[in-house]
Amino acid sequence: MSELVLTEENFDQSILQAEKLVLVDFWAPWCGPCRMMAPVLEELAAEMDSVTIGKINVDEQSALAQRFNILSIPTFILFKKGEVIDQFSGAMTKQAFKSHIEKHLV
pLDDT tens digits for range 50-62? 899 999 999 999 9
Q: Is the peptide bond before 39 cis (omega within 30 degrees of 0)?
A: no
Instruction: Give the active site residues.
Output: 31, 34
Per residue in 22-34, pLDDT (tens digit) is 999 999 999 999 9
Decide if pLDDT at 1 tops 50.
Answer: no
Q: Which domains does the chain have, with CATH numbers?
A: 2-100 (3.40.30.10)
Provide the 8-state DSSP code for 23: E
Q: Which helix (H) or strand (E) holds 102?
A: helix 94-102
Specify whether the CB–CB gap between 22 and 52 falls below 8 A. yes
What is the rounded distance in angstroms from the CA atom of residue 35 to the CA atom of residue 31? 6
pTM above 0.75, yes or no: yes
Tell me: the pLDDT tens digits for 63-81? 999 999 999 999 999 999 8
What is the model's pLDDT at position 49? 86
